[in-house]
Structure 1
Amino acid sequence: MSIICRKAVPEDVEALYELIQDYAAKGIMLPRSKDALSRSIHTFVVVEDQGKLIGCGSLCRLGVDLVEIRSLGIADGYKGKGMGSMLVDALMAEAKEQRIPKVMALTYETAFFQKNGFTVVEKEIFPEKVWTDCVNCPKQNNCDEIAVLRLVEFAPEQLTTDYVQI
């Protein structure tokens, strides 16, 4: 295998759409239109094996100090081989580069996220998420996803007065 993790490019939209639709059909990921993927392609990172897209994930800004990992998925046959962790590492590096101290996700795979340094938290601590997406979700009043949170580690010299280290 020749696995690489990189930022997504417009040519990835079709493969992203197919991967996300597969998860959406199983009810474990929100669907994304090709148009929506094209508009947000700059937020995605992908994993590929010899030119074939086999995984993806994106960061969605929810506030000045909070981003959400979205659309995190790995193609069948590649799960359990570290590709998901590779994507999370890339997304955490992106959050750090953007100087965003908190990264959250809503998931059915809490063990995976805990293995990657996240802690289970109450969804209600993310009003930004509730008002951005949950308000339009068909599962709004019966959400069964679990919220997880990981703080981005900054060196003391990287901190600004804009953020308070938790």
Structure 2
Amino acid sequence: MNTTIVSRKARPEDVEALFELIQGYAEKGIMLPRSRVALLRHIDSFVVVEDAGKLIGCGSLFRLGSDLVEIRSLGMSEGYKGMGIGSRIVDALIDEARRMNIPKVMALTYEVKFFLKNGFSVVDKEIFPEKVWTDCVHCSKRNNCDEIAVVRILE
């Protein structure tokens, strides 16, 4: 991988780049939008990847319960897919879940193959009532959700 590509915890000065990246996905209907205020409030939950100082990828971890966290807002800039950047972000988020002693990591996704490659299994999304009542209740797709739930149980 290119040596100019580095991953790190997000900082407040990343909010605008995070907003732009996430908004691009939200406009396509494949990611929930996040406001700048919400991004700043949850900045500590984000991992970002940069190429020569430019933010090119992100992902965050959101606690849904005492034993469950969700990977959210996982995305990258065009031209960087297939380079292992998404897996690098997931690995960093899994490491963070382990530090938090959280045994289950879930995601709702359209990219099932990616998550299967990263050690997740497909499950019925109804087993996550924490997610349903936290986010899904506010989603426009709540009655016709086409995302697939995946989970990874940590050792």
Deviation per CA, 1:119-161, whole angstroms, max 9, x where unpaired? 00000100110111111111111000000000112xxxxxxxx
Corresponding residue SS for 1:141: coil
CA distance in 1: counterparts of 2:141 and 2:29, whole angstroms:
11
Q: How many residues align?
A: 153
**Would you say 1:86 and 2:91 are equivalent positions?**
no
Pairwise mapping of residues 138-157 of structure 1 onto structure 2 (< 5 A)?
A: 138-153=140-155
Query: Structure 1 counterpart of 2:141, which letter?
Result: K
> Residue type matched to 1:86 in 2?
R
3-state SS of paired residue (1:81)? coil
Residue in structure 2 matched with residue 107 of structure 1 by the alignment = 109
Stretches of structure 2 lacking an aligned partner (at least 5 in a row): none
Q: Give the residue type in structure 1 aligned to 2:113.
A: A
Residue of 18, 21, 32 corresponding to 1:19: 21
- For residues 49-81 of structure 1, the C-alpha deviation after alignment (integer angstroms, 9 at most, x for no partner) is 110000000000000000000000010010110
Cα distance in 2, alignment partners of residues 10 and 125 from structure 1: 34
Match in the other structure for 1:129: 131
Residue type of the alignment partner of 2:103: P
Structure 2 distance, partners of 1:5, 1:65, is 26
Unaligned runs of 5+ in 1: 154-166
Write the letter of the residue equivalent to 2:98: K
Question: Residue deviations 1:35-62, cap 9 Å, x none?
Answer: 1100000000000011000000000000
Coordinate RMSD, CA, aligned: 0.5
Mapped partners of 1:74, 1:95: distance in 2 = 21
Report the TM-score when normalising by structure 2: 0.98
Larger Rg: 1
| Large movers: runs of 4+ above 6 Å | none
Calculate the TM-score normalised by the size of structure 1. Answer: 0.91
